[in-house]
Amino acid sequence: MSASYAYLYRYTLPFTEPVSVRGRRLLNREGLLLALKSEDGAHGAWGEIAPLPGLHRETLEGAERQILETLSRHGENGSSLCTEGLFPSVRMGLEMAVMNLEASITGRRPFGLDARSPLPAVPLNALLAGPTESVLAHAEASFRAGYRAFKLKVRLEERGRALDSVRELHRMFEGRARLRLDANQAFTLEEAVRFARELPEGSVSYIEEPLREPRNIAEFHNRTGLSSALDETLWQKPGLFESLPEKAVGALVLKPNCLGGLAAVLRLVSHAAEHGMEVVFSSAYESGVSLGFYTLLAAATSPRPAACGLDTFRSLKVDLSRNPPRSEGGVLKPEAIYRESCRVETRRLSLASIWTL
């Protein structure tokens, strides 16, 4: 049994406070939900297509045009839904819907998970930003709530404040928690080296995307001893990371809807495992529909998942899941959050089109 009907919906969800993405100030998260249903209507599933302005190359309008074209061509010359040449966000949303429908029909969890039980909890890293006083207050509250990993955003024009925050966090936790930095490709090589040399020894696990020119990451490591994590580089320059020395790269940060589908994600997971790198699953402020899928994927690909960047649900005032995601003790429970991700609050959606496949 396969999908016989498709329904495309639009959504707009307000952020709890404005989110800045590469200079763009966003008040809402906008995207599409694709629903697939079996011919008898007994089984249905959801997938999310949600390019983020400032992060994805494709726009939401372009993604909607492409998914409509894909649905209209389905079945021509034996074509499948997941064809070549799709935008990363469109492919991920399609694959999510198809895999979720298969799971609903067969009664088996995605990713071959029925052979493994119980699934581990997936730890989260708490996101820190802003003045040092608020960073410390949020870190202390998160630590009490069970978080043991933190990610501090570092802006070029506020690097002095970031250094103060790192020193205070290092003093506060004394090795009881891990700190990661995220520079979002803000620094030149020389700026990054100067910044890294001012960090207290052993205070950070790695710096995510430190350089405007990622090809210089090996030189950055040689001069500072600090490892980097790759995020945007993985889809901006997909061949580069394999040319970097293993010791220079400590982690791969995987945003599935930026990478172009599960096959690309799993290739990176395999590469990381072979080369001793951490895999950190992350989201692009998607709804609980995607977060449940990604959490299950993180649990499926590692017996001990690294702390993930999947607590972005805190940035949304409302969610598309009937029971929005929540963490317990700084972790997500994969099976519970996946189960809830399949239960969508349709009153938050606007129907765009219906298709017979």
What is the four-CA torsion angle of 237, 281, 63, 56, rounded to 10 degrees? -40
Domains of the chain by residue range: 3-114+346-356, 116-341
CB 34 within 8 A of CB 61: no
Predicted local confidence at residue 231, as pLDDT: 97
- Tokens 């998160």 -> residue: 142
Check residue 117 and give its pLDDT: 63
DSSP secondary structure, 44-90, as one string: EEEEEE-PPTTT-SS-HHHHHHHHHHHHHHTTGGG--SS-TT--HHH
The CATH H-level (homologous superfamily) assignment of domain 116-341 is Enolase-like C-terminal domain (3.20.20.120)
Q: Which of 258, 301, 250, 254 is nearest to 276 (CA)?
A: 250
Q: What is the pTM of this model?
A: 0.94
Q: What is the pLDDT of residue 78?
A: 47
Residue spans of alpha helices (H) in 115-261:
132-144, 159-173, 189-197, 217-224, 233-236, 256-259
| pLDDT by position in tens, the chain (length 357) | 588 899 999 999 999 999 989 889 999 999 999 999 999 989 999 999 999 999 999 999 999 999 999 999 875 554 567 777 899 999 999 999 999 999 999 988 888 766 566 578 999 999 998 999 999 999 999 999 999 999 999 988 899 999 999 999 999 999 899 999 999 999 999 999 999 999 999 999 999 999 999 999 999 999 999 999 999 999 999 889 889 999 999 999 999 999 988 999 999 999 999 999 999 999 999 999 999 999 999 999 887 889 999 999 999 999 999 999 999 999 999 999 999 999 999 999 999 999 998
User: What are 38's two structure tokens?
Assistant: 């079996």
Supply the pLDDT for residue 242: 87
Longest dimension (CA), the chain: 64
Q: Give 75's contacts (C-beta < 8 A, 6+ positions apart).
A: 357
Write the burial class of residue 221 (CB in 10 Å: 0-12 exposed, 13-18 middle, 19+ buried): buried
Q: In this structure, are residues 47 and 96 in contact, taking their beta carbons and an 8 Å threshold?
A: yes
What confidence score (pLDDT) does residue 241 get? 86
Q: Which residues partner with 179 through β-bridges?
A: 150
Looking at residue 95, what is its pLDDT?
95
- Which has the closest alpha carbon to 2: 96, 93, 104? 104
Burial class (CB in 10 A: 0-12, 13-18, 19+), 352: middle
What pLDDT score does 2 carry?
Answer: 80
Whether the Cβ atoms of residue 47 and residue 98 lie closer than 8 Å to each other = yes
Closest C-alpha among 253, 248, 150, 159 to residue 204: 150
**Count of residues for the chain?**
357
The CATH code belonging to domain 3-114+346-356 is: 3.30.390.10
